[in-house]
Amino acid sequence: LLGAETAIPDESLVSQDIIWETFPQMPTGRELAGFARLHSPLTLDKVGPDQALMNWLDIEFETFRSLERRDVHDRLQQGFFQNNDIDVEGFIQFSTSVLNRRKSRAGKSLEYHLEYIFRTHNVLFSSQKHTEGKNQPDFLFPGIAQYQQEAFPEHLLTFLAAKRTLKDRWRQVLSEA
C-alpha cells in the first residue's frame, strides 16, 4: 500500500563465486574494504563520498556475510564434539568469536572507507592516535603533530568520531575528543 519494498533482491552486488574465489579464508577488514571499493559500480568522483560510502558499506557487508555463512556452515558441519561428548564450551567460544568478529568489523569498516575518502581528497588527518592517557580519537584534523604543538591554534583542530551505531558508544565520543 505504501510502496515500500519488502522483498530481498535476488541479485547480489558481487557474485558469491568471485567472493569465495578471492577469499579462501576470512580476510582482514582492510582487505574487505578494498574489495568493496574495487567491485563497486559507483565511483567516488562520479557520485560523491556519501553515495559511494553507502555503496561500499553495502558491498562489504554482503561480502562479509557470504564469507561468514560459508565459514559458519563448514564449522557447523564438523559439529562440536570432544571425546564423543557434545562440546558445549567449544560451541559457546565459537559463537562468541563469530559475534565479536561481526561487531569489530562493522566499526573498522567505516574508518577504512573514510580514510580512503580523506586520502583521495588530500585531506590531512591522523587516525587512531593517542592524545591524552588512553584517549584515541577516530580521526584528528589536520593531524596528531599539529595537536601536539602548543602553538597550533586550537580552533583549527577538528575531531571526528566514526561510529556505525551510537547505542552504547555515544559516551566514548566526548572522552575520545
Question: Is the confidence at residue 2, as pLDDT, over 80?
Answer: no
pTM recorded for the entire structure: 0.82
Measured between alpha carbons, how far is 26 from 104 in angstroms, rounded to an integer? 14
Residue 107: which pLDDT band, with cuts at 50, 70 and 90? confident
Q: Does the annotation count 147 as an active-site position?
A: yes
Section 128-134 average pLDDT: 87
Measured between alpha carbons, how far is 128 from 131 in angstroms, rounded to an integer? 9
Percentage of the chain with pLDDT > 70?
91
Section 95-113 average pLDDT: 88
Q: Identify whether the C-beta of residue 127 lies closer than 8 Å to the C-beta of residue 139.
A: yes
Question: Is the confidence at residue 109, as pLDDT, over 80?
Answer: yes
Dihedral class, residue 22 (left if φ above 0, else alpha if ψ from -120 to 50, else beta): alpha
Cross-sheet strand order for the sheet of 126-127:
126-127, 139-141, 158-160
pLDDT of residue 12: 62
Q: Identify whether the C-beta of residue 177 lies closer than 8 Å to the C-beta of residue 137.
A: yes
Residue 82: which pLDDT band, with cuts at 50, 70 and 90? confident
Question: Is the confidence at residue 84, as pLDDT, over 60?
Answer: yes
Report the DSSP pairing between strands 139-141 and 126-127.
Answer: antiparallel
pLDDT of residue 6: 39
* Catalytic residue (one of 23, 80, 118, 147): 147
